[in-house]
Structure 1
């Protein structure tokens, strides 16, 4: 198995396409490897090598993809969300101990302001006129002593922060081996080949896009067509130009795509996708079935998280079954179920734990989090995912929710995913996220935020009556909030924790 990003892309034919983008020529593998050498030489000349961290703030697109792949072959990459404010950049840049910040030429926004105040080196990325997708040059002011140490398999390739919904974000370092192993796991799960082309619409400051779309495709000698982000209005036009064999997205993106699929039947018919992939949040069973019917291709739901360099489980390709409501079978690391409080493995329902070459060595500078998250049992080191779940008789993993998101209504434990599934069966419900509503007597009550289908006149009372016929009374949402749009995080995921506060709901009804 490849152990570094350099070895991941080393053996593919040089004239094969690697990176594409709207209206741009393709960058081939020879071009990508040459770019990696140029980037390493430029960074070394700036006094940056495997011992240093380079934060990256770039818009989504081919240069962000190649910046990650090439900088990570010379130093540690730390991609950051381009939508952050200056104080957020100041926090992350200091927390990461980044030596330099990589920015697009001409950018003077909040990331530049934060880095300048911290006295950090600014590296500028420029795209020469007529350059193929992803090709760039680097420049920086100031002198430095040249450094030359290249990364080895145990060096950190990528650093990301956890989302920090309920606490200070934790730093997740991922080694060259972690990244390469995860890319290979995804390649094997999806049987990716040089002929495969991924159309990437995922943000490239997030583990899903970086590893599933970019690194896994490059591991297979395939190609990635990089959209400038996600836009449901432009998605099918991009699909026509890109001619992909697959794409990967989060459930909310898939739902937005479905809403525009009817008027793009000709593009779908011409596309001939080999499969669609969904990850980063549970895909409602109804959406999985609808996607399969719309695109005439299998929908492969996978289960991933940052600490695992993305993928842990994955639904298999045909002829094996893709189970709606299941996140698949073991697909890389070992997966077991552990007692939620005690450090041992169990049968049945409990906390999902993983062990394997893609799993982070541990949170940086956070011994308390590491003590809570890792334990030794049965001859392996296990990481606690924070998810509750169980395997069925066929070895498919079913999640019941994040342990922190399970709603505790006066001692009754309710899975928000279960309530979501029931409410999505209502013909006029387009999207739903069930969440905990603080309650003075019960501790927590069940609430649901809902987006209705276009033209629907359904009311909160209708939705509650529908739910009451299909589930036990204590699971029926006491509060249903009908919205035009459900608030989402930076990566398009709907966030249950803190949603009551965001919606101004302080006390249960």
Structure 2
């Protein structure tokens, strides 16, 4: 077994302390100096021990993963680095290599799983890092990198990018990806800072952090530039941006020219780069000055590296071969390979290339059957082998934009595409399957791969890579539901891209009801934060439906949806006199705050402000229209009701004029929260303290709840504290936080209804259900009805005041049913009207109606 003295240190990791109090990590809520970082690294390195051990790290873009990575390097422990969001890959590699320690990042701390006190492995003294080759996450074949590889590559990158201590890189790529890791290594080498985040470039919060963190660069793969165009990157004001790097696949020459010119105008540079995991990351870069003239070139070798072109029989162009200190030690396929020394001295890239008279190299094709899609290298032969193992004869072809597969015979291409996407790690949108009677073949009997590629759908949307289905899903889904079809139907949007989310597409609490139920039926299970999960990630989720008794007879429906449906039934039933169950309207106020936090608090300040005002209009205008009709045909209401002002100017005595108090108070609260969050310091505070901010508002609102401050609303009792308490519930992430919010509800609800214990118990129960249970089981026969009632809850609340008096004396049951049916009808009418207005381009109705 090896000891601590038997390994070569990685200098940039061992020398972090030399950068002193310079900022090493900048996040959205704290800054970590190099001195602080070293303290954390040393503590974990001490825990790992002095004997070298094989460590596996499931890494995310967070401080704990960075500390774990550096601790392994400092302690000399060879590290298998994997993405945190692929547990199956971790299980596969743990089974194949039997690491001594497994590290994970979870809930802000490192989970340390020590599988044995020492090690069972023979570890070569030069071995430092083990990475999956591009596109093969979970495969037992790993790239063996030495400490010298890591140091040399970091030095060459830092040299040609001229990275200095004042630079700060935003982490746009996973730390487990060799490109993303090279950004971290090269910046730590020079004492520069890392703006550490896992946010996407389509998230406005990313750009806010980019500006406030003073980031000077970010890394991009070709797909990133599609996202940049979608978010209006060209018009952004980014004064600190110094350069943008691009790798992970070929970027179209015209796009290289376009972004090089944009950078020239804006004062930053574009570095096009070329590399492979086997070269630790980078082999070549294109100097920015040459980008306009040679946009199709990969550039010149990185400092310390060299290229040669080796002739290939029968081809005009030869294979590009790279040599340099960053070339891997070799591959590992079994634990025994971890003790081997260098077996590779030069890297045969598999790419066909030529050298331009200007001295730059151009890659013109691939020698073997590999394509690189969204930064992942895909072995077309492996695709065929995966399907062959399933008894399916197939032929695969593709380009850097997408993969096309022909399968012989009658097969479920939707199911096969799921299996294949998971097996090779591709987004479903980059994969297209076609069932054919016979595979196309040449006269020689060999598969005609150009004919396979020609099967690709000719007309593809701009947001879907070539080779995807017409809806971008990767399969023909003209009939059954799919994620994009559901989003199109419920949000009335056609411009749905891979990185779009329910919230970014304008979803709100009404469309949330229908969307969530249809997605649940399609996918079998929805993650708690599906509404902010990108479309491509939802498309890749495995159908987890089971055949158990519970799942056969009950369907899980989100708690907020169930509460809305149950609440409207109990509210109407109580008003009719069929039952007595008061307190549900106040539960709905907490649900309204819960939904406000989920759907109205994302994005930059101005777009969010407009969206919040639109949300208020979606509540107020249909309500005012109906109350206006009620005002004209009855004598129960006044103009103050029509204008939603009765709670301010109406009588203190409870009369029919108070029928619509819930809508009035909700509109006041939504307007107040919109105005508050339009203030820059309040908006910053909410982003920095997402839970403490609504808890602080709850504390202020309790001043009115306990009559310490007069809110100026004569009746009913103040409800702002319930709204912001529901907001706080939506921001809880841990058991401790949920306990705190629960205790707050239990302590503050008693007494708010002047001794009406049943009403108070109902309110407490509703808040606790919202806090602790993400879903509730609903009999499958009632699932559709639950969804319908939840969707129409606002409208049923409005119209029941006119409907039930006509039937209550005849039959209370009939009165309740008619009120709910009328509410559903008004909901359907409003939805249709708003849909027509949305399609006509009237901006206040680009989304759907907001519900309480």
> TM-score band, normalised by the shorter chain?
0.5 to 0.7
Partner Cα separation in structure 1 for residue 343 and residue 57 of structure 2 = 33
Residue 383 of structure 1 is matched in structure 2 by 347
Cα 1:418–1:208 change in 2 (3 A) is: closer
Question: CA offset at residue 73 of structure 1?
Answer: 1.4
Partner Cα separation in structure 2 for residue 231 and residue 261 of structure 1 = 11
Question: CA offset at residue 58 of structure 1?
Answer: 3.5
Residue 192 of structure 2 is matched in structure 1 by 222
Partner Cα separation in structure 2 for residue 13 and residue 418 of structure 1 = 42
Question: CA offset at residue 39 of structure 1?
Answer: 1.8
Cα 1:18–1:197 change in 2 (3 A) is: same
How many residues end up aligned between the 2 structures?
397
Residue 351 of structure 1 is matched in structure 2 by 319
Partner Cα separation in structure 1 for residue 194 and residue 137 of structure 2 = 35
Question: CA offset at residue 401 of structure 1?
Answer: 3.0
- The answer to whether residue 85 in structure 2 is matched with residue 76 in structure 1 is no
List gaps (5 residues or longer) in structure 1.
107-124, 127-136, 409-413, 421-431, 457-476, 495-509
- The answer to whether residue 23 in structure 2 is matched with residue 13 in structure 1 is no
Partner Cα separation in structure 1 for residue 103 and residue 112 of structure 2 = 10
1:39-85 Cα deviation digits (max 9, x unpaired) = 211110xxx64x32111113322322232122221111212122324
Question: CA offset at residue 222 of structure 1?
Answer: 0.8
Matches within 5 A, 1:138-149: 144=117
Matches within 5 A, 1:340-419: 340=312, 349-365=317-333, 381-405=345-369, 416=399
1:231-266 Cα deviation digits (max 9, x unpaired) = 41233233223221111121101221121126x83x
Aligned with residue 461 of structure 2, among 422, 436, 452: 452
Cα 1:253–1:164 change in 2 (3 A) is: closer
Assess if the C-alpha contact under 8 Å between 2:12 and 2:188 holds in 1.
no
Partner Cα separation in structure 2 for residue 17 and residue 100 of structure 1 = 30
Partner Cα separation in structure 2 for residue 388 and residue 214 of structure 1 = 30
Matches within 5 A, 1:466-477: none
Residue 299 of structure 2 is matched in structure 1 by 328
2:331 is paired with a residue whose SS is coil
> What's the TM-score once normalised by structure 1's chain length?
0.67
Partner Cα separation in structure 2 for residue 166 and residue 29 of structure 1 = 31
| Rg larger in structure | 2
Aligned with residue 40 of structure 2, among 35, 42, 50: 35
Cα 1:160–1:229 change in 2 (3 A) is: farther
Matches within 5 A, 1:272-311: 272-295=240-263, 296=266, 297-311=268-282
Question: CA offset at residue 384 of structure 1?
Answer: 0.9
- The answer to whether residue 184 in structure 2 is matched with residue 175 in structure 1 is no
1:73-118 Cα deviation digits (max 9, x unpaired) = 11112121223244x3332112233111102346xxxxxxxxxxxx
Matches within 5 A, 1:260-271: 260-261=231-232, 265=235, 268-271=236-239
Matches within 5 A, 1:45-124: 49=51, 51-74=52-75, 75-86=77-88, 88-105=89-106
Partner Cα separation in structure 1 for residue 36 and residue 46 of structure 2 = 15
Assess if the C-alpha contact under 8 Å between 2:25 and 2:193 holds in 1.
yes
- The answer to whether residue 321 in structure 2 is matched with residue 312 in structure 1 is no
Residue 505 of structure 1 is matched in structure 2 by none
Question: CA offset at residue 338 of structure 1?
Answer: 1.6
Cα 1:31–1:433 change in 2 (3 A) is: same
Residue 790 of structure 2 is matched in structure 1 by none
Assess if the C-alpha contact under 8 Å between 2:308 and 2:322 holds in 1.
yes
Partner Cα separation in structure 1 for residue 432 and residue 165 of structure 2 = 43
1:57 is paired with a residue whose SS is strand
Cα 1:243–1:258 change in 2 (3 A) is: farther
Partner Cα separation in structure 1 for residue 38 and residue 103 of structure 2 = 20
Partner Cα separation in structure 1 for residue 116 and residue 325 of structure 2 = 39
Cα 1:166–1:142 change in 2 (3 A) is: closer
Cα 1:188–1:270 change in 2 (3 A) is: same
1:18 is paired with a residue whose SS is strand
More displaced 10-residue stretch of structure 1: 381-390 or 353-362? 381-390
Assess if the C-alpha contact under 8 Å between 2:103 and 2:113 holds in 1.
no
Residue 22 of structure 1 is matched in structure 2 by 28
Cα 1:419–1:34 change in 2 (3 A) is: closer
Residue 113 of structure 1 is matched in structure 2 by none
Partner Cα separation in structure 1 for residue 200 and residue 209 of structure 2 = 10
Cα 1:292–1:385 change in 2 (3 A) is: same
More displaced 10-residue stretch of structure 1: 435-444 or 27-36? 435-444
> What's the TM-score once normalised by structure 2's chain length?
0.41
Partner Cα separation in structure 1 for residue 40 and residue 401 of structure 2 = 48
List gaps (5 residues or longer) in structure 2.
1-7, 372-379, 381-396, 404-428, 476-497, 499-533, 537-852
Cα 1:145–1:303 change in 2 (3 A) is: closer
Partner Cα separation in structure 1 for residue 14 and residue 294 of structure 2 = 31
- The answer to whether residue 472 in structure 2 is matched with residue 484 in structure 1 is yes
Question: CA offset at residue 31 of structure 1?
Answer: 1.8
Question: CA offset at residue 16 of structure 1?
Answer: 0.8
Cα 1:283–1:320 change in 2 (3 A) is: closer
2:20 is paired with a residue whose SS is coil
Higher relative strand content: 1
RMSD: 4.3
Partner Cα separation in structure 1 for residue 365 and residue 64 of structure 2 = 36
Question: CA offset at residue 356 of structure 1?
Answer: 1.3
- The answer to whether residue 306 in structure 2 is matched with residue 338 in structure 1 is no
1:73 is paired with a residue whose SS is helix
Cα 1:480–1:168 change in 2 (3 A) is: closer
Question: CA offset at residue 394 of structure 1?
Answer: 1.5
Aligned with residue 174 of structure 2, among 182, 195, 203: 203
Cα 1:58–1:393 change in 2 (3 A) is: same
Cα 1:452–1:36 change in 2 (3 A) is: same
Question: CA offset at residue 383 of structure 1?
Answer: 1.6
Structure with the greater relative contact order (CA < 8 A, sep ≥ 6): 1 or 2?
1
Partner Cα separation in structure 1 for residue 364 and residue 401 of structure 2 = 7
1:453-480 Cα deviation digits (max 9, x unpaired) = 47x9xxxxxxxxxxxxxxxxxxxx9x99
Residue 133 of structure 1 is matched in structure 2 by none
More displaced 10-residue stretch of structure 1: 302-311 or 239-248? 239-248
